[in-house]
Structures are given as structure tokens and as C-alpha cells.
Structure 1
Amino acid sequence: MPLATHVTNSLRHGPVEGHQFGYSRLPWPRPVPVWTYYVDGLLIDTGSRHTQREVMRTYATYPIEQIALTHFHEDHAANAASLARQHTCPVRCGALTAELIQQPYHLLPYEHYWFGAIEPCSAAVDVEVLGTFPTPFETAHHRFIPVSTLGHSNDHYVLLEPNQGWLFAGDFYVGNLRIFRRGENIYQQIEAARHVLTLDFDTLFCGHNPVLTNGKKAIQRKLNHLQRIVDQSIDGSEKGLSESQILRRIGLREDWFMRLFTSNDVAATYLVRSALRDKPA
């Protein structure tokens, strides 16, 4: 009997369709699924390589005219090349994303377990990649404005459709974070959240946790959460507390199984460490 777990879900919000795909080789640890979104000939993000069969089957009959990537990570960009060839359409993204997706990049074992390596995406494999973000682009009925939102990755963009009040957020939002990947920057995430709150939107099409009403309130809650971590981390450090003591003071705890499973790549401690080490000069 197969043990692999596949996750598929769908949503519709006005003309926007969302399809969620996830995979893990065993029932536990559970999959980490990602949402892809389609509207007006545009597909935003493409899922992981392990879910390619389901992604390709789901979107086979959709009139996809262009694909947009919020960032290069393997659960968002892996199927861009196959979908672009399937639909004979270009892939839009930032210049750094275009550079990073040209070839598969190093993955840790847990990333292989949940997601799988990306499929190379460039002119070398007959895909037109347009690394033009933050230049706005259009579909037949909508205009999308890419907005740089650093902190999760160095190439991350959200896509704003101001006339409809839509924000396609990739991994910018997710929720009130209780863990960080190594290398994430809490100050950049705070700066990005402050900037996004100046934009005109209500619907937050997140890559992992959609918020279909009151999206700004959700981002404000996340901003408050991150700022509290920064403030209490700095105060705790000034009082001579260790990282683990600061973590407990904030009300977070380390998930040691997750830390071991991810080869020390994901940890609650990295939230505190970023607050103490990444403060801008």
C-alpha cells in the first residue's frame, strides 16, 4: 500500500481560482502544500516538482497566457518550465529569480523530501523568461504591479492588482511566524510589511495561508508580532538573557524534531537571532 500523501484543494474568489498542491513520501511529517492562483490568463506560482503530475493535469485545459513567479523557491517555481512549454507562454519574474531558476540549485534533504528539485527554466530549455519585475504588466482585463518584499528571500515580489484590491503574496505573509529559515531577515520583513500596508488591497492570496477578507489587518497583526519579537529580543539581550531564555520570554519554543529534520535549517531561535544580529546600522 502506498504511503505517500498528496494534498489537493481548490478555492474561488470572484474570478480568481486557487489550486493547492502538496506531497510527502510518508504520512508524517505532513506535507507543506502551496497555493497556485489563476486569473485572466495568468498563473501565479507553479508548485513543487513532486506535485508536477497533479499541477500539469489541473492546468492542462486552462488558457494560460503568462506565468508569474513570486520568488525562486522550489515549492513555487519548480514547474514553471513544463507549464510554459505546455501553454507556449512566457514566465515573468524578477531579474534575480530569472538567474536563480536557470539550473537546479542545492537542496537540503528535507527540501528534497517535501518538494524536489526545480526543473531548469530558461531560453536554453525553450522557455521565454522575462526578468522584468518591478515593471508592471497586464492581462486582458487587469494590471499587476510587482512590489519587492525582501526578508524571506532576496528575490521576493508580491503582485498587486489595485483596481480589484488583490495582493498575490507568495511567501510574504504566511501568518504569525513561530519559526524562521536560516538566513531570513526579520528587519527586512518588517520593512516590507510596513510598505505593503501603504498599498490598496483587501484580499491576500497567500502561497500557504490565503486571507480572502481583511488582508491588511492580517498583515498588521504579523507586523505587530514581528516587532514584538524584535523589541523583546533586544531588551532580553540587554538584560543578559541567552537566546533560549529570550525565546521562552517571547512565548515561543524550539521544535527540536523540526530542527533535526531540516538539518538545522528551520528553527524558532532564528527569529531571535535575526532580531539581534540583522539590525540595520
Structure 2
Amino acid sequence: MLSKEELKLFKISEQESILLFYMGRSPLGILLYPVYAFLVGDVLIDTGTNRAGHEFLESLKDRKITGIINTHHHEDHIGNNADVQQHFGINIYAHPLTLPYLENPRLNDLHLYQRIVWDWPRPSKGEAVGASVKAGPYHLEVIHSPGHAEDHICLYEPDKKWLFTGDLFCGTNFVYLRQDENYLQILDTLKKLSALNIETIFCNLKGVVKDGKIALAKKISTMERLRDDVFKLRDQGLSPYRIRQKVLGREDARHFFTRGHYSKQNTVDSILSGKRPANR
């Protein structure tokens, strides 16, 4: 469990109703794969990792919490569901495909690195989220956003032009992919989201991203360029291995630490497994 010094809490001055909870585990003195959770009005968006469960719950006890929305079923997003739900007696809302994982988190077949960094959460009880959720004075529209996970949702506050992207955005660059992610589906989903009027992105990996519409466009452009490069090299007869070497370089520590669950090769392989866009 993290010490209180290792659990960092940030308040966004520009949107004072939103609190960012930044948490992770540093077993070797290095903070590994930290994540954010958000408090929007009186509703939590995700609950982070149970490695910081005590500190997270302590930070919430004097606050009004009326509900939780989970963006998807991964263990670093539902980690403290059970403790928060039990303490506040509140409902948890998620995509219908998420609900079995809340009830039985061990349906997630965690890799060794995931067990080290996050581990399985305790079971919680959820219900299917509707088309929108009231979060204090805010109105969060629910958008099904597959690609990172089939059950993934994003949340959009149209008046404030906020987009909560879970693990879908994760910065403007794109190098690594999980074995169970779908590159072209992520790209399609990001394109649909880009039609929204977005000023600020709240990302569970990056935190606050200003000029969200510009950042989203940059991400899309990066992904389209990489996709096109991969298909062109395939047309030249290169193997997936050689394509990865040319466009993304050698594998690095992330590949070895996760035993290939996250890798550059996954990115190339996922692109090649999809349908090439017309006229490209």
C-alpha cells in the first residue's frame, strides 16, 4: 500500500469542482503506471488502483459522493469500487459489458506485471449506465468508445466542453498497444469524438489536456500517418517484424516488463489485421 506521500491529490484551479486523484505503486522507488480518478460534482469517474485504497478512501470521507461511473472494466479503474461503494452506500454505473467484471474481478486474467502494480480489486455491484448522468451541477453524456476495451465509455460535458476519455486518448503520440486493443477501432472512435466541441480532455493517464480538440486532431493525424506507413511497407513486401523495426524501432523496457502484453509489435500487428482504408 502506498504511503500518503505517494498518493498525490491535485485540484484543478480552472474547474474547481473537479478533483484529480493521482495514484500508483512504487515498489522499487519508481512510480509504475500511475492512474487518475476524477471527482466531478458529486460523482467519481473511476476509482483508481486498490494499491492506494486506504489513502483514496480517506481523501473522500469528508466529501459528498453520490455515485461512481466506471469508464471500463480494467483493474486500475475499478480498484476502489468496493470500498467507496460500501462506505457511501452508492450506485456504480458502467457499460453492460463491464458489469460481470465488477461482480467478479477475477474474470480479468491479469498478467504478472498487472498483479504486481495493481492486483485484482474486491467485487462490487454495478448497474447499466444510461444515456447521461447528473453529476452535481454537471450533465455527463455517455458515449460508447470501443478500441481500448469493448466496454469502454467516454463522458462529455457539453456546457463545459469537457471530455473524460478513460484510457482511450492517452496522449498525442502512439507507440505501444496492448494485445487486446484494436488500433483501427481506437482510431475510428477518436474520429467520432473529434466531432464534439472539446476544450479540455481529462485522461486517466495524462490528467488534464488543454486545447483538447487540437490534441485529439494531432493524435488522429499521428495514428493515420502510422497506419499508412505500415500498409505501404507491407505493400513493399516487408514482414511485420521488419515493419515494426522501420516505423517504431526496437522493443524496449515496456515490452520486457509486460512480457509483450504492451509492445510496438502489437501496434503493427493490429494495424495489419484490419481493413485498409479505401484510396490509400
Q: Same fold (TM over 0.5)?
A: yes
Q: What SS does the aligned partner of 1:279 have? A: coil
- The residue number in structure 1 matching 2:121 is 118
- The residue number in structure 1 matching 2:135 is 139
- Change over 3 Å in CA distance of 1:120–1:280 after alignment to 2: farther
Q: Does 1:181 align with 2:178?
A: yes
Aligned structure 1 segments of 4 or more residues deviating by more than 4 angstroms: none
Paired residues for 1:123-272 under 5 Å: 129-133=126-130, 135-175=131-171, 176-255=173-252, 257-272=253-268
For 2:274, which of 272, 278, 281 is the aligned residue?
A: 278
Shift of residue 251, structure 1, vs aligned partner: 4.1
RMSD: 1.9
- The residue number in structure 1 matching 2:34 is 33
Q: Does 1:68 align with 2:69?
A: yes
Shift of residue 239, structure 1, vs aligned partner: 0.6
Unpaired runs of 5+ in structure 1?
A: 123-128
- Alignment partners' CA distance in 2, 1:25 and 1:53: 17
- Alignment partners' CA distance in 2, 1:116 and 1:156: 20
- Alignment partners' CA distance in 2, 1:183 and 1:73: 12
- Change over 3 Å in CA distance of 1:278–1:100 after alignment to 2: farther
Q: What SS does the aligned partner of 1:50 have? A: helix
For 2:24, which of 22, 25, 28 is the aligned residue?
A: 22
- The residue number in structure 2 matching 1:126 is none
TM-score normalised by length of structure 2: 0.91
Count of aligned pairs: 270
Shift of residue 104, structure 1, vs aligned partner: 2.1
> Is contact 2:197-2:213 (8 Å) kept?
no
Q: Residue by residue, what CA displacement relative to the aligned partner does 1:4-37 show, whole Å, maximum 9, x if unpaired? A: x935241313121111111132224x41111111
Unpaired runs of 5+ in structure 2?
A: none
Q: Percent identity?
A: 26
